[in-house]
Amino acid sequence: MKQFVLILLFPLLSFSQTIQYTMPFEDAEHEGTWLQWPHDNTYGNGWKAENEPAFIEMVANLESGENVHIIVYDASEQLDVEQTLTNASISLTNVDFYIHQNDDYWVRDNGPIFVYDNNNDLAILDFAFNGWGNDAPYALCDQIPSLIATDLNIPVVDLSDMVFEGGAIEIDGNGSALMTRSSVTASDRNPNLTETQIEDYLTTYLGITNFIWLDGSFGGSQDITDQHIDGFAKFVDANTIVTMNNADLWYWYVSTADIATLNATTDANGVAYNIVNLPLTQNNVFTTSGSNTYSKGSYVNYYVANDAVLVPVYNDANDSIALGIIQGLYPTKTAVGIDCRDLFNYGGMVHCVTQQQPIALNTTSIKEQTNKPANFRITDVLGREVLPTKNIPLIYLFEDGTVTKQLIIE
């Protein structure tokens, strides 16, 4: 049966500044994580081999706690990735693939942004993506959100009047957002939108009401993201920001004014955030092949999954210090290091190449019990024995004395 996806069109300024969609916090429960697998079709032979090891590590540490959705360039690449993961002894039970040509692997920036509408139904936001201000190929990547919406049969909200990248924003799950103007409001992103208009978009479609703007800086060829916020500041929860100390922020080209703003920022209720500092690497990052990147690496660009926190590491003395601090921030999860030396050489880390898909809040369907043991009985809520029935809560009684309550939705 052919599936259709609902495309919702919202012309610029046709809405008042009211919340229609809300982006859940990264730490909220995931249905899965999206990755866009590296390939050689944009930058030539060797690109995939150089960048793939980090992706293998990520899948290995994600698949036991949530689904892993992998976008691959073509069917041949899917077969190759399947074999690569199998050779690494990684189960494919919770891994699936979506074949769509793409330019690069930075799915945080070009991929689907999942939100809840006011009925708690999932939707995908499809902002325009222009390769970080026309600094990199982007035509294929720009199409990914709408293609995934069709694959999943989830409504897509067409927001192509505004250029926006997922790595340009950090939210606290309570209405506040950190952003840099250099990567959102600048002339190479949104020359025809005022800051107020951009805020209206983000209130309506992400649920943001407290905007914490840093000026940022233009990175040129050294940082084509123009100082994405997720490289140096991140919300741990609604009360805490993890960042770097002032000297390291200055090293990271964060201005004195922006450092002051970050350290003094308050939440939507006017309460100051707790600040936790992570170190930079002790030394410049060298790639796995021995090339000097001439820069120290950030640990702030980590990704919070259901069971794990994926932390960029660089074969540096400060790796263990950063892992220890992050483990303390997430005591119910396992902080694991992902070797990002080669990703860092190309301008990103773990958070840049991952995108979370939250659970569907309105899904209550449960698979019917199989492999029923002897003396298996099903009763209604009054204790009367019944046959399996759709749309009615039922009590399943097992031979070993355990009991479950299930609701099978037609």
Say which of 70, 352, 353, 394 is annotated catalytic. Answer: 352
- 42-72: b (≥16 Cβ within 10 Å) or e: bbeeebbebbbbbbbbbbbbbbebbbbbbbb
Q: Please choose, from the candidates 199, 229, 212, the residue with its C-alpha nearest in 3D space to the C-alpha of residue 19.
A: 199
DSSP secondary structure code for residue 219 in this structure = B
Query: Per-residue DSSP letters for 247-275?
Result: HHHHHTT--HHHHHHHHH-B-TTSPBPEE
CA distances from 18 to 119, 126, 197 (A): 15, 19, 13
Q: At what angle do helices 75-87 and 47-62 cross, to 10 degrees?
A: 60
Give the whole-angstrom CA distance, residue 40 versus residue 109: 20
Neighbours of 399 (CB within 10 A): 11
* Three-state DSSP class for residue 225: coil
How would you write 54-114 as a 3-class SS string? Answer: HHHHHHHHHCCCCEEEEEECCHHHHHHHHHHHHHCCCCCCCEEEEECCCCCCCHHHHCCEE
* Amino acid residing at 303: Y
Residue pair 348/301 in contact by the 8 Å Cβ criterion? yes
Active site residue 352: yes
- 83-111: b (≥16 Cβ within 10 Å) or e: ebbeeeebeeebbebbebbbbbbbbbbbb
Give the whole-angstrom CA distance, residue 88 versus residue 61: 12
- Residue 213 CA from chain centroid, whole number: 21
Give the whole-angstrom CA distance, residue 231 versus residue 110: 17
- Quick one: 143 exposed, middle or buried, by C-beta within 10 A (0-12, 13-18, 19+)? middle
* Three-state DSSP class for residue 336: strand
Give the whole-angstrom CA distance, residue 278 versus residue 361: 34
Q: Which residues are the active-site residues?
A: 352
